Structure 1
Amino acid sequence: MSRLHVVSGKGGTGKTTVAAALALALASEGKRTLLVEVEGRQGIAQLFETEALPYEERKIAVAPGDGEVYALAIDAEQALLDYLHMFYKLGSAGRALKKLGAIDFATTIAPGLRDVLLTGKACEAVRRKDRTGRFVYDHVVMDAPPTGRITRFLNVNDEVAGLARIGPIHNQAQAVMRVLKSPETAVHFVTLLEEMPVQETADGIAELRAANLPVGGVVVNMIRPAILDEAAVEAASNGRREDVAHALTYALERTGSGGARRTGLVEPLVDPLLEQAREHTERLALEQRGRADIARLGLPTYELQLLGDGVDLGGLYGMARALRKQGCP
């Protein structure tokens, strides 16, 4: 089983929410999971209704079965200071460089270095062991950049090639790539049953495969419930105004609103209902095409229902349960 789970997806698909739910699901039954954020948006803190995450690993949730979820917001500048201290023993000198703006300057002019630092911190957590030789974390979940940037972000070996072909930075990039291209890693994509997110998911998977980076599964998020059965969908797609009026009159009479036709309750409702039914059938057809496109990717697929009132902490735990029931990952 993979131990580093990288979660990507087009903006607006609920990538951060799914990453948080996945961390909870993986932490069930006494496991320990680290949830990592690399974009500095503090989305994890908002989801778990806690204060902004500092640059340290902090316990933020308890999973079913006494599992634990820790979280870390990785900051590129702080990660570089850690790196300088680890390899060059630059303690106070490194902090002085930060005050002078040298750290920010280095990560700005060399974006490849920034990605090495961000991914390197997550990979270090994957490899870290305690004094008994056991891994500190059973799983690490990374809330990664969106689909359009994920391959470049993960393929740090190519990014750093222009910075250093030998030396500590090069060696660090090589160590990171050994984790990212191993069976320990799986990159999951979050999508919606809409044309653009599905297409970006397919493109992102193709890019990862071309770069020999490991692809995990696809999480289809915000599935809306079916309102009409197959017979109703067919009737709506070929809907005739008189049929809708008759059905509406019958429904109102069954609820005790006798004489609905005579009192004029039916006529104003017929056209809006027909329009909504047509929109519903069009959406169902779009979703069916999306499911077919996702199925052609040949990857494990999981579905999460739309939470109408938004995602609170209870909803997050519900999403985690749904992922576990479907065997994700």
Structure 2
Amino acid sequence: MSRFQVVSGKGGTGKTTVAAALALALATEGKRTLLVEVEGRQGIAQLFEAEALPYGERKVAVAPGGGEVYALAIDAELALLDYLQMFYRLGSAGRALKKLGAIDFATTIAPGVRDVLLTGKACEAVRRKDKKGRYAYDYVVMDAPPTGRITRFLNVNDEVAGLAKIGPIHNQAQAVMRVLKSPETAVHLVTLLEEMPVQETVDGIGELRDANLPVGRILVNMVRPAVLEGPVPTDVRRTDLAKALSGVGLGGARKGGLAEQLVDPLLAQAAEYEERVALERGQRALLGEVGLPVQELELLTEGIDLAGLYRLATDLRKQGVA
């Protein structure tokens, strides 16, 4: 299992939820996991029903077996201040630059540098060790940008190539890329069994592979349960259906009765269900052609809360993802 787990996905697929559940799953049995957010949305805090995350690592959950999940919301400006202090010993001068707006200017005008700062902070957590030489975190999980931007975001070496060919920024980018392109890292893509998310996932995997970035798994989220074991019968007669409805107490089978009134809506629902199942079957086939492990997570109809996260984490462990 790679120590740096990057989770991406098309907007609306629930990638933040899956990243949080994965962090919980990996923390089981006494492990320590750091869950990192880089988009500034504070989605992790909401999922764990916690206050907004500061620029600091905070424990947000305890996993089964005593493991711990910490969370960090990386701020590019504050990360740049850390960077300036680490490499240039600017200290108060760096804070003065922030007050003047220079930090915001630098991270806005040079998006490649911004990505180096965000990925660099996460990779630092992956490499960090305590005084006894043990890793500070067994796993680091990143709630990363969406699929359409993930390759460019992770391929920071190319991003800064035109900005700095030597010096600390260049060296930092090289160090980050050594982590991102090593077996320590796995990039997972979250999708739904719908045409647009699946196509974006397939395209994203191709881009990641072209950039020699290590792709991990496809995580299909919000999968609706099967209502029928097989296909919807096509030879059902209206009169037989009305009698069956009547037999379970839904009105008499007489013409114009409640049972007969329910026949058309029920047949329409059956047709919609069969259409959805056929669509999902086709999307599963497309995902299967990619040649990656595919895991599915159930749709939690009651919504996502802390209990739901633990439920998804348990499901991930049962499927061998963690």
Where on the TM-score scale, by shorter chain, does this alignment land: which range? Answer: over 0.9
In structure 2, the partner of 1:50 is: 50
Q: Secondary structure at the match of 2:219?
A: strand
1:301 corresponds in structure 2 to 294
Q: Could you say which residue in structure 2 is the equivalent of 1:287?
A: 280
Q: Distance in 2 between matches of 1:185 and 1:239?
A: 53
1:278-325 Cα shifts (integer Å, max 9, x gaps): 000000001111111111111111111000010110010000000000
1:34–1:140 CA contact under 8 A, matched in 2: yes
The answer to whether the Cα contact below 8 Å between 1:224 and 1:305 also exists between their aligned partners in 2 is: yes
Q: Deviations for 1:126-177, whole angstroms, at most 9, x for unmatched residues?
A: 0000000000000000000000000000000000011101111000000000
Please name the residue that 1:176 is paired with: 176
- Counterparts of 1:243 and 1:199, CA distance in 2: 42
Give the alignment partner of residue 248 of structure 1, picking from 230, 233, 245: 245
Match of 1:234 among 232, 235, 249: 232
Alignment of 1:193-232 (within 5 A): 193-230=193-230
* Unpaired stretches in structure 1, ≥5 consecutive residues: none
Greater CA drift, 239-248 or 37-46:
239-248
1:49 CA displacement? 0.2
Deviation of the 1:244 alpha carbon: 2.8
Letter paired with 1:274:
L
Q: Is the 8 A contact 1:9 1:146 kept in 2?
A: yes
Q: How does 1:259-274 map to 2 (within 5 A)?
A: 259-261=252-254, 264-274=257-267
Q: Which amino acid counterpart does residue 129 of structure 2 have in structure 1?
A: K
User: Is contact 1:181-1:213 (8 Å) kept?
Assistant: yes
C-alpha distance in 1 between matches for 2:208 and 2:76: 24
Residue in 1 aligned with 2:317? 324
May I ask how many residue pairs the two structures share in their alignment?
Answer: 322
What 5-or-longer segments of structure 2 have no aligned partner? Answer: none
User: Letter of the aligned partner of 1:264 in structure 2?
Assistant: G
Residues 1:156 and 2:153 are matched in the alignment = no
Question: Residues of 2 paired with 1:205 and 1:154: CA distance?
Answer: 13
Shift of 1:249: 2.6
8 Å CA contact 2:243–2:253 kept in 1: the answer is no
CA shift at 1:194, angstroms? 0.7
Please tell me the residue identity of whatever aligns with 1:165: K
Tell me if the contact between 2:253 and 2:260 (Cα under 8 Å) persists in the aligned partners: no
Equivalences for residues 1-150 of structure 1 within 5 A: 1-150=1-150
Q: Quick one: distance in 2 between partners of 1:302 and 1:312?
A: 21
The offset of 1:247, in angstroms, is 2.8
Runs of 4+ in structure 1 displaced over 4 angstroms?
237-240
CA contact (8 A) 1:58 1:71 kept: yes
Q: TM-score, normalised by structure 1?
A: 0.95
SS at match of 1:209: helix
CA distance in structure 1 between the aligned counterparts of 2:170 and 2:86, rounded to whole angstroms: 15
Identify if the C-alpha distance between structure 1 residues 238 and 14 changes in structure 2 by more than 3 Å, giving closer, same or farther.
Answer: farther
Instruction: Give the aligned residue type for 1:300.
Output: P
Go from structure 1 to structure 2 and tell me whether the alpha carbon gap of 1:98 and 1:156 turns closer, same or farther (over 3 Å shift): same
Secondary structure in structure 2 of the residue aligned to 1:54: coil
- The question of whether the paired residues in 2 share the 8 Å contact of 1:113 and 1:160 is answered with yes
TM-score normalized by the length of structure 2: 0.97
Q: SS of the residue aligned with 1:187? A: strand
